[in-house]
C-alpha cells in the first residue's frame, strides 16, 4: 500500500505536469508566441532539458533518498498521514512548500553562491512556459521544498503532494507563460474586483513578469522583489510585493555576458571561461564606491537608478552588480534639468543625493 502511494505520487506529479506543459505549449504555439521566438539552442537545452532532468532524475533521486533515509532513521513516521483528511494534508503541504520556496528564491537573489545557480533563470530574454524550469541543476538538488515534498510523500501524503504539485505548476507555468491570462481580467472593468482578490492570493503573470523585467528603470519591473511562486501572500507579509498590473518592456539581465549553457546549467562543476562572467573561476565583485560625491548631469522627468551596493562599474548609477546581495538600487526621477551631486560613499541619509555624510568618514 505504502509503495503504491509513493508510486502514485511520483507518477501523477510528472505525467500531469507534462500534460500542463503540452497544453501551454500548444496554446502558446497557436497564439504565435513560440513561432516568433529568438531563443537560441542553448536556451532550449537549458529550459526543456532542465525540466526533463528535474522530472526524470532529480526529483526521483530526492524521493528515493528520503525513502531510504526515512526507513533507516525514522521508520515510525512512515505513512502517518495515511488516515488524515487529505484536504488538511494538501493545505499544510502547499503552505509550507510555498513558504520554503519563497525564502529559497529570495535567498537566491541575496546570496552570491545561490545567485549563480539561479541567474540563468533571469538571463531569459523572453518569457514562456519552459522558463519556469530554467535554473542550474544544483539549484534544484538543494531546493528545500522538493525535499519537503519527499518527506510528505514518505509520511503517506503522496496523493496530497501529487494534487498540490499539479495545482502549483498550473500557477507557476501560467505566470511564466507569454499568454498572460490576467490581461483579460484587467481589460474588463467588471472583472477587476475579482482580480483585486485573486492577485492578493496567487501569483499572476503581471506580478511575476515584473520580477523578470530587466531593471526598475521602466517603473514596472522589480527584479529584487515579487519572489513568490504559487501564493503572493509571502511577498505581502515580508514586504517584497509590487502590484502594477503592467508588463515590463525588456526581460533579462543588464550587461549579460551570455555564458555557454554548460556553465549556466552545470555551475559550479563547469565554470565559464569568460573572465567577465560571474560564473568564471575567481570572479570577484570589487567595491567601486568612493568617499567623494559625484556630480552628474540630470534631465528633468528622466528616471535613474542610483547604486546602493557600492559595486557598480558605472557609479553613481546601478549596473546590476547588486544581484546576489541584499542591496537593490534606488529609482528616482530628476525634478529639474542640470547638475546634481549624487552620493558615492553610500551612507547619505538623503540618498541618492549627497548630504555631506562622507565628511564623517
Q: Which residues bind ligand FES (CB under 6 A)?
A: 307-309, 311-312, 318-322, 327, 329
Q: How far is the CB of 330 from ligand FES (least distance, A)?
A: 8
Distance CA 267, CA 284 (A): 16
Residue among 236 and 288 whose Cβ is closer to ligand FES: 288
Residue among 221 and 321 whose Cβ is closer to ligand FES: 321
Distance CA 73, CA 65 (A): 12
Residue among 163 and 320 whose Cβ is closer to ligand FES: 320
CB 7: neighbour CB atoms within 10 A? 11
CA angle, 92 then 98 then 103, to 5°: 130
Strand ranges inside the chain, DSSP E: 294-298, 303-306, 330-333, 338-342
Q: How far is the CB of 101 from ligand FES (least distance, A)?
A: 25
Q: How far is the CB of 127 from ligand FES (least distance, A)?
A: 23
Q: How far is the CB of 75 from ligand FES (least distance, A)?
A: 50
Grid cell in block for residue 320: 546590476
Distance CA 5, CA 174 (A): 28
> Which residues, in sequence order, are CB contacts of 165 under 8 Å at separation 6+?
13, 16, 17, 149
Residue among 42 and 329 whose Cβ is closer to ligand FES: 329
Distance CA 92, CA 100 (A): 12
Q: How far is the CB of 315 from ligand FES (least distance, A)?
A: 8
Distance CA 50, CA 58 (A): 10
Residue among 153 and 308 whose Cβ is closer to ligand FES: 308
Tell me the H-state helices in 300-360: none
Q: How far is the CB of 297 from ligand FES (least distance, A)?
A: 20
Residue among 263 and 320 whose Cβ is closer to ligand FES: 320
Residue among 104 and 327 whose Cβ is closer to ligand FES: 327
Residue among 8 and 111 whose Cβ is closer to ligand FES: 111
Closest listed residue to residue 106, CA positions, set 241, 215, 203, 2: 241
Per-position DSSP letters for 158-184, written without gaps between them: HHHHHHHHHHHHHHHHHHHSTT-THHH
Distance CA 180, CA 126 (A): 13
Q: How far is the CB of 317 from ligand FES (least distance, A)?
A: 8
Q: What is the CA radius of gyration of the chain?
A: 22
The distance of Cα 273 from the centroid of its chain, to the nearest Å, equals 26
Q: How far is the CB of 316 from ligand FES (least distance, A)?
A: 9
Grid cell in block for residue 112: 552570491
Amino acid at each position: 500500500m505504502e509503495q503504491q502511494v509513493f508510486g502514485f505520487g511520483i507518477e501523477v506529479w510528472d505525467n500531469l505536469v507534462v500534460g500542463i506543459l503540452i497544453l501551454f505549449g500548444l496554446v502558446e504555439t497557436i497564439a504565435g508566441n513560440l513561432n516568433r521566438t529568438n531563443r537560441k539552442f542553448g536556451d532550449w537545452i537549458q529550459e526543456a532539458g532542465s525540466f526533463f532532468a528535474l522530472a526524470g532524475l532529480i526529483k526521483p533521486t530526492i524521493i528515493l533518498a528520503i525513502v531510504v533515509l526515512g526507513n533507516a532513521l525514522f521508520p515510525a513516521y512512515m505513512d502517518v498521514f495515511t488516515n488524515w483528511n487529505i484536504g488538511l494534508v494538501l493545505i499544510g503541504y502547499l503552505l509550507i512548500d510555498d513558504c520554503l520556496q519563497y525564502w529559497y528564491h529570495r535567498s537566491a537573489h541575496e546570496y552570491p553562491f545561490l545567485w549563480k545557480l539561479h541567474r540563468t533563470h533571469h538571463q531569459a530574454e523572453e518569457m514562456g512556459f519552459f522558463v519556469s524550469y530554467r535554473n542550474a541543476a544544483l539549484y534544484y538538488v538543494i531546493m528545500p521544498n522538493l525535499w519537503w515534498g519527499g518527506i510528505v510523500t514518505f509520511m503517506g501524503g503522496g496523493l496530497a503532494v501529487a494534487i498540490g504539485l499539479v495545482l502549483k505548476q498550473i500557477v507557476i507555468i501560467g505566470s511564466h507563460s507569454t499568454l498572460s491570462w490576467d490581461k483579460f481580467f484587467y481589460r474588463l472593468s467588471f472583472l477587476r474586483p475579482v482580480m483585486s482578490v485573486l492577485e492578493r492570493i496567487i501569483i499572476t503573470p503581471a506580478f511575476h513578469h515584473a520580477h523578470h523585467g530587466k531593471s526598475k528603470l521602466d517603473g514596472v519591473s522589480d527584479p529584487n522583489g515579487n519572489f513568490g511562486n504559487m501564493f503572493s501572500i509571502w511577498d505581502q507579509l515580508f514586504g517584497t510585493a509590487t502590484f502594477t498590473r503592467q508588463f515590463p518592456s525588456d526581460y533579462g539581465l543588464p550587461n549579460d555576458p551570455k555564458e555557454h549553457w554548460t556553465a549556466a546549467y552545470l555551475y559550479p562543476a563547469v565554470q565559464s571561461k569568460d573572465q567577465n562572467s560571474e560564473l568564471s573561476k575567481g570572479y570577484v565583485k570589487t567595491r567601486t564606491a568612493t568617499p567623494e560625491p559625484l556630480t552628474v548631469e540630470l534631465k528633468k522627468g528622466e528616471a535613474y537608478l542610483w547604486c546602493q551596493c557600492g559595486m557598480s562599474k558605472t557609479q553613481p548609477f546601478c549596473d546590476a552588480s547588486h544581484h546576489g546581495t541584499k542591496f537593490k538600487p534606488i529609482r528616482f526621477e530628476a525634478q529639474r534639468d542640470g547638475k546634481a551631486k549624487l552620493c558615492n560613499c553610500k551612507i547619505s541619509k538623503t540618498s541618492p543625493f549627497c548630504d555631506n555624510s562622507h565628511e564623517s568618514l
